[in-house]
Structure 1
Amino acid sequence: MIAVKAPAFGSGERWRMEMKAQAGADARAIRLQRAAWLRGASRQGSVQPVAALLLDTVAAIGFAGGIAGAVASIDRGLVAVLPWLLLIAVSALLRGLFAMAAVRIGARGGERAKQVVRATVIDGAIRRAPGSALTTGMLASAVVDEVDALDGYVARFVPARTAAALAPLIVLAAMACASWFAALILAATLLPFIVALALAGGAAADESRRQFVALARLSSRFADRIRALPVVLAFRAEAREAEGMGQAADDLAQRTMRVLRVAFLSSGALEFFAALSVALVAVYCGFTLLGLLPFPAPETLSLAEAFFVLALAPEFYAPMRRLAAAYHDRQAAETAADRLMALPAPAAPAATTLPAAHDLVFRNVTIRYPDSDSAAVDNLSCSFAEGETIALLGPSGSGKTSLLHLLLGLAPLSEGEVEVGGVPLAAVGSVAPLAGWAGQHPLIIPGTIRDNLLLGHRDASQDALWQAVTAAGLEPMLARRAYGLASLLDARGGGLSGGERRRIALARALLKPAPLLLLDEPTAHLDAEAEAAMIATIARSCRTRTTVMATHSERLAAIADRVVRLGEDR
């Protein structure tokens, strides 16, 4: 945010000039930052697509030479024409191969660039600072739409930009060998073509940026509404949400049509200048051969030279046409870069050395989320010895889950200090490497029950797996299923009861060889019988670990060595 000082009387013009200069400097800084970011993203491409495009230009010169030689030799019979026809065929084949190679190599470079950027975005989302405002919809839009926008930039625009700077010079050099004056005509017409390209790009830039922002907004909104669909249906807001989505889609369609109109107009203007330039060369060559130039001929052209120049003239503008066609990819990539760079930076990685002891100390801990008026946890002080079972007891909203999230690096430490084994939590980053975790809403992935259990410890042995299954009380559930651990589950865990979901989560946490066990409401929403069975299972499982349980159940808290009551005066 820029601090603006009020201007003194009579200095308004100077103040406006200073503000304009400051805005210009800020815009230049943003452009430089964006360009540097895009250069870093495009490093996954290679020079091979550029080489293929330049070789395509060389093959085009051979093709034009074949046409000129064939026309000049046609009066000497078929034997004289055959070598030139062979040159035409070979050049045409090479052009096709080089064009295909440029597309394929560019596509592979674009895919590599997307993989690297997508991995960076996901890593930043996973390790983002606690309390980040990044929503699921924003993340989905960034990972899919905005990263995909880099594909055309790396695969098409970057190679086309480099080829457009070099290929016309190669064509001019070849053309000058036959007609230096025709080469001079094309060189002179290059300036208005470049000006037209710049104007067309500038006209399309704003419309393209608005269209891309509207697309990102629609994608984010759609993902968030799908995630909140049960709430939307519960409050019968589906009609209102559908209407809002429809309006957003109509707005995107209108912006897309504006982008297409500008693109068609700019393409027509560029084609006009290219056709006009080629026509000038054609008129010059024809009038020179006929001796009808209105001024003394600067050179003498043979029929072969004239045909060579005429066949090669369109190739002078082909690289710039290719660049103009890929210019929209640049605009989309720049808009995506602005949004990707604005994503929250990842939090600092955890320390490589984890504490040997596993006692926990909280000193005057306060947790306050961004945009929240009150603290989730306020000035909490307590300590837990290694090997103890602790129950965080309190009603909903008392901060039980926030304390567990604080240990996992998912909640912000606003004030105070937390130590793990005598080491500040800030130095460790998170106790996740030391902890088995079972949350309120157990994650179920599509796959077998075995796949779900091995999420936290992929290399677990069969004996360790069955020990966790037995400790979590999963054997009766597996016995009812024909395929046991190989039974398939969908992403929603269809066919599993609430207690079975929690037992899978508990077994997964127990399977991980971790000294800490963090359980968040493990008995919530269970009936009395299921709760009693789960409490007995937890009591057996937490004997050898430091266990912290967040719960509102007095029955579960009764098995703990210590109880910390939240949501009341301490």
Structure 2
Amino acid sequence: MKAQLKEATAPPLAFAGLLWVADGAGAVAFALGLALAVGALPAAGAAQWPWYALIVGGALIRAGAVFAASRLGAVRARRLKRFLRERLMRAALRTPPGQAASLGERVAAVVDEVEALDGWFARFEPLGFASRLTPVLILGAIAVASPIVALILIGALVPFALVMALAGMAAAEASRRQFDALAHLSGLFVDRVRALPVVLAFQAEQAEAAKVEGAARGVARRTLAVLKFAFLSSAGLEFFAALSVALVAVYCGFNLLGLLPFPVPEQLDLPRALFVLALAPELYLPLRRLAAAYHDKQLGQAAAERLAGVLDGPSAPEPSSAAIEAAPAIRFEGAAVRHPEGPLIGPVSFTAPAGAVTAILGPSGSGKTSLLSLLVGAAPLADGEVFVGEHPISKVRSVARSVAWAGQTPALAPGSIAYNIGLGRTDAPPGEVAQAARLAGLEPALHQRTDGLATELDERGSGLSGGERRRIGLARAWLKPAPILLLDEPTADLDEAAEHEVIARLRDLAKGRTVLLATHSERLAAQADHVVRLA
């Protein structure tokens, strides 16, 4: 995955890295102008404006390079996040049934974990590119003025690099643990918010709050561990940077005064001494910037490892693009379903004739819903085969595009009742939406509401009874022009009169379609053309 990300963002990386190198070149120009301007002060009548111009030019180069590099790094990170989120969404949509992570973990992957890559690619990698070139540039400039100072700085880099390596290895593991804890907290929080009505119904607020609090404390502990290593690495960096600059200052001072206790093959003058002394801190600046962004790298690598599991994990084939225009026969040939850590359902063999109503009758847990879910790719086919016409589900994964579905808990979106009915066919005229509502038996419920079909709902469908939700699902299924109709317990949550009404309308809903309905109701099954009984 990392290779793909770098390939997608390589040109901005090179440009941003070169801009950070240009900041080092600006530092050399600034130090040279400063040294020459000070050296020219004792000379009466010497033109000093070129050195002042060099000072100003070096400062402008540095300011412009830092600004442009930061902007270009942000552009690179934005391009990468867009590239990655597109692939994450595709991977999530193609996750094999039964292997999807929890909602909270998927939200954390698409939002938090992708966002954690920002600092790595916007700051750390361009700075890493520059940190390999800028110190060489500055050391070269220093070596021209004073080879001895260059050797002092190279010697000070050895313990500096050792401290950085040790701190980096410790920080990497701490960052991984912190990111795992943060992803766990995000998933736990989102899933508990999603299940809030159930939590409240069973008065489990205190227990669930304690779980979230424990996860939050775990994130805090791991964050403090990361900060501890960051502090240690920063302290080591500052110590050796200050020590090396102090050594250079002492050497330059004693060399100028001629008081060195040992012989050296050079004698510095004021401009050369000032030049190397001004550049000595600049040798460590790229490395200090890199160290400041090191935490971004650790977070980014931890996130990339987690995201690689999503992108490189098992994926199911794309849904069939073959158009199923006429009601097909549906054949289950030894089909079996096994959800993770669940019992084997099946094997089951039967044929639902084309254009007929087939009822799947059985007790709870017998696998009725799972068999319907096989057709839309929402359940894993463990054995056998299911043919929709001539299309095997093991090859096409899903024929959801050709299916109208009315499930036990119809999904509702914020919007009007009419909008929710029309989700399966967004271009449906208002008259057809109203007709679908009437065929599903929603008219009495609409008459009780002032706005009728324009009544606004939230995502939970607050104010609707279970039966009214089912009717919205039936209306949506009737409105979608699909040759296959799947009904999962369409008469559950309905009283006897309402159940009788739905049964009476079944033939209207089923007209011109192959219908599979899962039910407990013997009365509803009696209206089917074919009945399959599961033990």
Same fold (TM over 0.5): yes
For residue 461 of structure 1, report the CA deviation from its aligned partner: 5.6
Structure 1 residues 560 and 108, CA gap change in structure 2 (3 angstroms): farther
For residue 215 of structure 1, report the CA deviation from its aligned partner: 2.0
Report the Cα distance in structure 2 between the residues aligned to 1:399 and 1:283, rounded to whole angstroms. 83
Of 538, 541, 544, which residue of structure 1 is paired with 2:509? 541
Report the Cα distance in structure 2 between the residues aligned to 1:75 and 1:470, rounded to whole angstroms. 100
For residue 370 of structure 1, report the CA deviation from its aligned partner: 2.4
Report the Cα distance in structure 2 between the residues aligned to 1:70 and 1:451, rounded to whole angstroms. 75
After the TM superposition, which residues 167-182 of structure 1 pair with which residues of structure 2 at under 5 Å, given as runs? 167-182=134-149
- What per-residue deviation string (whole Å, max 9, x for no partner) do you get for residues 478-518 of structure 1? 67766666654322223334344333333333343321121
Structure 1 residues 329 and 433, CA gap change in structure 2 (3 angstroms): same
Of 362, 366, 371, which residue of structure 1 is paired with 2:341? 371
SS at match of 2:424: coil
For residue 248 of structure 1, report the CA deviation from its aligned partner: 2.7
For residue 283 of structure 1, report the CA deviation from its aligned partner: 2.2
Report the Cα distance in structure 2 between the residues aligned to 1:109 and 1:470, rounded to whole angstroms. 54
Structure 2 runs not aligned, ≥5 long: none
Of 343, 352, 377, which residue of structure 2 is paired with 1:409? 377
1:383 maps to 2:351: yes
Structure 1 residues 158 and 564, CA gap change in structure 2 (3 angstroms): same
1:420 maps to 2:388: yes
Partner of 2:101: 134
SS at match of 1:381: strand
SS at match of 1:525: coil
Structure 1 residues 435 and 293, CA gap change in structure 2 (3 angstroms): same
1:446 maps to 2:410: no
Paired residues of 1:73 and 1:81 also in contact (CA < 8 A): yes
Report the Cα distance in structure 2 between the residues aligned to 1:483 and 1:57, rounded to whole angstroms. 68
Deviation larger for 185-194 or 409-418: 185-194
- What per-residue deviation string (whole Å, max 9, x for no partner) do you get for residues 401-435 of structure 1? 10111111111222222111123221221111211
Of 506, 524, 530, which residue of structure 1 is paired with 2:474? 506
Report the Cα distance in structure 2 between the residues aligned to 1:114 and 1:412, rounded to whole angstroms. 31
Letter in 2 for 1:262: F
Paired residues of 2:417 and 2:457 also in contact (CA < 8 A): yes
Deviation larger for 120-129 or 527-536: 527-536
For residue 235 of structure 1, report the CA deviation from its aligned partner: 3.1
Percent identical: 52
After the TM superposition, which residues 116-135 of structure 1 pair with which residues of structure 2 at under 5 Å, given as runs? 116-132=83-99, 134-135=101-102
Paired residues of 2:324 and 2:402 also in contact (CA < 8 A): no
Partner of 1:523: 491
Partner of 2:127: 160
Partner of 1:236: 203
For residue 133 of structure 1, report the CA deviation from its aligned partner: 6.0
Report the Cα distance in structure 2 between the residues aligned to 1:80 and 1:539, rounded to whole angstroms. 101
SS at match of 2:334: strand
1:293 maps to 2:260: yes
For residue 362 of structure 1, report the CA deviation from its aligned partner: 0.9
Letter in 1 for 2:357: T
Structure 1 residues 290 and 478, CA gap change in structure 2 (3 angstroms): farther
Letter in 2 for 1:40: Q
Letter in 2 for 1:255: R
Partner of 1:563: 531
Paired residues of 2:145 and 2:276 also in contact (CA < 8 A): yes
Report the Cα distance in structure 2 between the residues aligned to 1:448 and 1:91, rounded to whole angstroms. 63
For residue 96 of structure 1, report the CA deviation from its aligned partner: 2.7
Deviation larger for 400-409 or 452-461: 452-461
Partner of 2:2: 38
Deviation larger for 391-400 or 449-458: 449-458
Structure 1 residues 239 and 179, CA gap change in structure 2 (3 angstroms): same
1:313 maps to 2:280: yes
Paired residues of 2:387 and 2:393 also in contact (CA < 8 A): yes
Paired residues of 2:35 and 2:274 also in contact (CA < 8 A): yes
1:360 maps to 2:330: yes
Paired residues of 1:60 and 1:91 also in contact (CA < 8 A): yes
Deviation larger for 530-539 or 340-349: 530-539
Deviation larger for 287-296 or 477-486: 477-486
For residue 237 of structure 1, report the CA deviation from its aligned partner: 2.7
Report the Cα distance in structure 2 between the residues aligned to 1:487 and 1:221, rounded to whole angstroms. 33
Structure 1 residues 388 and 176, CA gap change in structure 2 (3 angstroms): same
Aligned length: 529
SS at match of 1:342: helix
- What per-residue deviation string (whole Å, max 9, x for no partner) do you get for residues 324-349 of structure 1? 12222222223223333334422122
TM-score by length of 1: 0.84
For residue 111 of structure 1, report the CA deviation from its aligned partner: 3.0
SS at match of 1:347: coil
SS at match of 1:455: helix
For residue 198 of structure 1, report the CA deviation from its aligned partner: 0.6
SS at match of 1:496: coil
- What per-residue deviation string (whole Å, max 9, x for no partner) do you get for residues 526-556 of structure 1? 2334434444444322202212222223343
Report the Cα distance in structure 1 between the residues aligned to 2:418 and 2:272, rounded to whole angstroms. 75
Structure 1 residues 449 and 319, CA gap change in structure 2 (3 angstroms): farther
Paired residues of 1:43 and 1:113 also in contact (CA < 8 A): no
Deviation larger for 321-330 or 104-113: 104-113
Partner of 2:366: 398
Report the Cα distance in structure 1 between the residues aligned to 2:60 and 2:507, rounded to whole angstroms. 76
Partner of 1:187: 154
Structure 1 residues 519 and 86, CA gap change in structure 2 (3 angstroms): farther
SS at match of 1:367: strand
Report the Cα distance in structure 1 between the residues aligned to 2:101 and 2:171, rounded to whole angstroms. 30
Structure 1 residues 184 and 495, CA gap change in structure 2 (3 angstroms): same
Letter in 1 for 2:494: L
TM-score by length of 2: 0.89
Partner of 1:4: none
Paired residues of 1:356 and 1:421 also in contact (CA < 8 A): no
CA RMSD of aligned residues (A): 2.8
Partner of 1:491: 459
After the TM superposition, which residues 443-482 of structure 1 pair with which residues of structure 2 at under 5 Å, given as runs? 443-449=411-417, 451-460=419-428, 465=433, 468-469=436-437, 471-472=439-440
Deviation larger for 537-546 or 337-346: 337-346
For residue 272 of structure 1, report the CA deviation from its aligned partner: 0.9
Of 278, 281, 296, which residue of structure 1 is paired with 2:248? 281
Letter in 1 for 2:319: A
Report the Cα distance in structure 2 between the residues aligned to 1:68 and 1:448, rounded to whole angstroms. 74
Structure 1 runs not aligned, ≥5 long: 1-36
Letter in 2 for 1:153: W
Letter in 2 for 1:363: E
Paired residues of 1:74 and 1:80 also in contact (CA < 8 A): no
Partner of 2:404: 436
Structure 1 residues 297 and 494, CA gap change in structure 2 (3 angstroms): same
Structure 1 residues 382 and 256, CA gap change in structure 2 (3 angstroms): same
Partner of 1:345: 314
